[in-house]
Every structure is written in C-alpha cells, then in structure tokens.
Amino acid sequence: MGIWTLKFKNLLNFFLQSSCPICQRPASGEFCPSCTSQLHSCHLQNPTICQQPLPVFAWGAYGGMLKRAIALMKYENHPEIARPLGEWLGEAWMLNLPQINCQPVVVPIPLHPHKLKQRGYNQALLIAESFCDTTNLKLKPNGLERVRETKAQYGLTVSERQKNLAEAFYLGRDFRYPTDTPVLIIDDIYTTGATARSAVQLLHEHNVPVYGLVTVATTIKGR
C-alpha cells in the first residue's frame, strides 16, 4: 500500500469515527476511552442493595460522569447512550446472577404519553431492550402504563414524591392475563424509591409478583 493511500485511509477512518456524546471527541465505540474509564469508575462492586419494598440491583453510583451521561440521555436527545448502559447493567446482572427458580420478565418504568411525545423515546425502555439483549430475559414493554402526568421528581421531598406518583400507573396490556412469572422492574435511576413503590403497589394489587428492581444508577449516602 502506498504512503498516500495509507494516509488517505487513516484520514477517512478519522472522519468516519463517531463522536463521544459526552465530550465530543472521536470515539470508535459509544464513548471515548477517557469517558468510558470515568463511567466505569462509577461501577459498584456490590450492585445488590437491600431496600424496601423490594431488592434493588444497581450498576453504578449516581454521580460524576454517570450522572452526566444519564442527563445527556434524557434531556439532550442522546438515546444512543441507553444501549451501552443497558449492556453494562446486563453484564453485571449475569455476573451476580441471583439464585431464583424462574426467569423474571423485564418491565420498564413508562413515561406519560405527553412526555414520551416531547422526548421522542423512553430511556427506561431503551435500557431494558439492551439489558434483555444481554441477559436473554423476556421484555414486557407494555407491562405498565403511565396514566397520570406527574411533576419532575427532582427537588421534591420524599412525601411530595409519593403524592406526586399516587395512582400514576395502570396495568398494561402485557398483563391482560394472570401470570405467576415474577417481574423485574427496570429504570434509569433509583433515588428515594417512590417510583418503584408506586409501580410495585399497582402490580401487587393485580396479583403480579415482583422480584425486584434493576437500575443503571442509585444514590449512595455519603456521595
């Protein structure tokens, strides 16, 4: 291969590289090496957290680069960020696979139709799709419906969050028939647990068993 042909090929490869959605530098994958390293520094060594009303399995601590990535995914039109986050969450789940007798089905936390129209996608569903591709668990994308539009949870107290989410969910068409298969709820962030509690309460009212919650990030006390 001639020197000019090689230089042209290298230049072409440079321009064909995608940009890291976090720092805008060239990236051969979803993120550049620097941002990937910073994201993995948020990864929890022990992803299983005992919380009420259900066990929580979280990939990382909500802060730093992971917090930035989630914000970009949700509010700055970067749905592609959901794919690697869901994949990492799935890999962590497989490495720490809980001992359960049956395979749960995965149900993402839904958005209200008005918010879904504004954003154009539900980040929890995109994460769930990638998570299920990695774990081979079955996805129930319409297990829950959001029937009441709520305020943003950020900045609300625990009691305000609970009131905000009261009767926000409805059982979706994926559970039109009774089921004994446990549900694994999936969301992007777990903070006070108000969203999860509201979803679990609704599922339990319809005799749908809930195994737990998996989430990309959770708040950690002291951080």
Same domain, yes or no: 208 and 146? yes
Q: Is the residue at 66 inside a domain?
A: yes
CATH number at residue 114: 3.40.50
Same domain, yes or no: 65 and 98? yes
Same domain, yes or no: 32 and 52? no
Q: Which residues contact 26 (CB under 8 A, 6 or more apart)?
A: 14, 17, 18, 19, 20, 32
50: pLDDT strictly greater than 50: yes
Same domain, yes or no: 53 and 29? no
Same domain, yes or no: 20 and 107? no
| Residue 27 main-chain phi, psi, to 5 deg | -145, 135
What pLDDT band is residue 147 in, cutting at 50, 70 and 90? confident
Number of domains in the chain: 2
Q: Is the residue at 148 inside a domain?
A: yes
pLDDT digits (tens, 9 = 90+) for 157-208: 445 444 445 467 889 999 988 888 999 999 999 988 888 888 999 999 999 9
pLDDT digits (tens, 9 = 90+) for 10-29: 444 444 558 899 999 988 88
| Residue 180 main-chain phi, psi, to 5 deg | -105, -5
Same domain, yes or no: 66 and 160? yes
Question: Cα separation of 50 and 169, whole Å?
Answer: 24
47: three-class secondary structure by DSSP: coil
Q: Is the residue at 223 inside a domain?
A: no
pLDDT digits (tens, 9 = 90+) for 71-121: 999 999 999 999 999 999 999 999 987 666 778 999 999 998 999 999 999
What pLDDT band is residue 64 in, cutting at 50, 70 and 90? very high
Same domain, yes or no: 209 and 140? yes
Same domain, yes or no: 32 and 59? no
Q: Is the residue at 179 inside a domain?
A: yes
Q: Is the residue at 25 inside a domain?
A: yes
Same domain, yes or no: 16 and 98? no
Q: Which residues contact 101 (CB under 8 A, 6 or more apart)?
A: none
53: pLDDT strictly greater than 50: yes
Q: Is the residue at 133 inside a domain?
A: yes
Higher pLDDT, 66 or 169: 66
150: pLDDT strictly greater than 70: no
Same domain, yes or no: 110 and 18? no
Same domain, yes or no: 55 and 150? yes
Last residue of a domain, one of 40, 55, 71: 40
Q: Which residues contact 221 (CB under 8 A, 6 or more apart)?
A: none
Pairing of strands 144-146, 169-171: antiparallel
Instruction: Categorise residue 21: left if φ over 0, alpha if ψ from -120 to 50, beta otherwise.
Output: alpha
55: three-class secondary structure by DSSP: coil
Same domain, yes or no: 70 and 151? yes
Distances (CA, A) of 133 to 17, 88, 93, 170: 25, 11, 12, 26
Expressed as residue numbers, the domain containing 169 is: 45-218
Answer yes or no: are the C-beta atoms of 171 and 206 closer than 8 Å: yes
Amino acid at 6: L
Q: Is the residue at 139 inside a domain?
A: yes
What per-residue confidence (pLDDT) applies to 152? 54
Ranges of beta strands (E only) in the chain are: 18-19, 26-27, 48-49, 56-61, 105-108, 138-139, 144-146, 169-171, 183-190, 210-218
